[in-house]
Amino acid sequence: MGRFILKRVVLVIPVLIGVTLLTFMMVHLVPGDPIVVMLGDRATAENVERLRREFGFDRPLYVQYLDYVWSALQGDLGSSIRTRQPVLDEVLRVFPSTLKLTAAAVLVATVVGVSAGMLAATAKHRIVDFLTMALVLVGISTPTFFSSLLLILLFSLKLDLLPVAAGSGIKPLILPSVALAAPAAAVLARVTRSSLLEELRKDYVRTAYAKGLKDRTVMTVHVLKNALIPVVTIIGLQVGGLMAGAVIVESVFARPGIGRFAVTSINARDLPAIQGIALVAALIYVTVNLLVDILYGFIDPRIKYR
């Protein structure tokens, strides 16, 4: 197990180098100049050329990239061109907010998704099953932007129960996390349902029933544990989706976060910031999936790591 984890951690390094290289290339392949964005209507030729020189954009691309990697290896992700603040500071400033939102959304998605999946599976082909699956369809098909606005209209404006925008405490977190969790919950409900149905057909379930165990015991003690293995994988993969969804949810609910920071940085062609965000996002994605892999071992002892 220890060797497995070590191997996976070491593998993160080439992943991160790949991410920086790809981001660097993408940002330079897409037209746009951070200096022009920064200067807006005051982008005279003289101003643009001066700042390109001062920021070192007049150097060859490979020199800029190697310089970036060398600094990054020493723990310096550079300074944002837009805000002139160290990128790490900027990311850390907004990251807790995204972490809170994503964690709340994972919680909502898991509780709602798994419960709905179980409900549908136990009531297979009955009205509850159809209704749940219809709701799932709505959850998957409704764009987050739209559902966010609907939630605001209903719960903030009409019912006056929850605030529109960010603030302290749990209340401002409810609407954004529900909006963000909806598509993920829908996916989880479907996966849980099909996984449970598959398990229910297996011999050990028949044996359990033959031994006279009750429905609830069969479901919770035997079936659920096995059925949850693919569900845990999906939760891990959904984290990526949730972080992407955070871009929209954070904008609509005027919440700070890494998603909004990413959009602003991309629009400003703020390369150091984009690189920093990509690195952090990649790191989170890899870490979450590593954790999921480790979790497997506990959920299903048949899985061995080498």
Among residues 40, 169, 212, 301, which is the contact residue for other proteins, using CB under 8 A? Answer: 40
Among residues 24, 72, 77, 82, which is the contact residue for other proteins, using CB under 8 A? Answer: 82
Give, in degrees to the nearest 5, the angle at Cα 303 between 302 and 305: 135
Q: How far is the CB of 288 from other proteins (least distance, A)?
A: 23
| Residue 244 binds to other proteins (criterion: CB under 8 A) | no
Backbone angles phi, psi at 86, to 5 degrees: -55, 135
Q: How far is the CB of 159 from other proteins (least distance, A)?
A: 11
| Number of CB atoms found within 10 A of residue 294's CB | 14
| Residue 29 binds to other proteins (criterion: CB under 8 A) | no
Per-residue mark of binding to other proteins, 136-175 (x: CB under 8 A)? -------------x--xx--xx--x--xxxx---------
| Residue 41 binds to other proteins (criterion: CB under 8 A) | yes
Q: Which is nearer to other proteins, 39 or 197 (CB)?
A: 39
Q: How far apart are CA 237 and CA 251, in angstroms?
A: 23
- Total residues interacting with other proteins, rule: CB under 8 A: 56
For the record, the structure tokens of 5 come out as 């984890």
Q: How far apart are CA 31 and CA 161, in angstroms?
A: 45
Q: Which is nearer to other proteins, 44 or 207 (CB)?
A: 44
Cβ neighbours for 177, distance < 8 A, ≥ 6 positions apart: 101, 104, 105, 107, 108
Q: Give the alpha-carbon dihedral of 202, 204, 206, 212, to 10 degrees.
A: -150
Alpha carbon 229 to its chain centroid, in Å, reads 20
Residue type at 100 in one-letter notation: K
Among residues 4, 55, 296, 305, which is the contact residue for other proteins, using CB under 8 A? Answer: 55
Among residues 186, 255, 282, 284, which is the contact residue for other proteins, using CB under 8 A? Answer: 255
| Residue 215 binds to other proteins (criterion: CB under 8 A) | no
For the record, the structure tokens of 276 come out as 């920093």
Q: How far is the CB of 194 from other proteins (least distance, A)?
A: 36
Q: Which is nearer to other proteins, 46 or 203 (CB)?
A: 46
For the record, the structure tokens of 10 come out as 């070491």
Q: How far apart are CA 125 and CA 285, in angstroms?
A: 36
Q: How far is the CB of 45 from other proteins (least distance, A)?
A: 4
Binding residues vs other proteins (CB under 8 A): 30-33, 36-51, 54-55, 79, 82-86, 90, 93-94, 97, 149, 152-153, 156-157, 160, 163-166, 250-257, 260-261, 264, 267-269
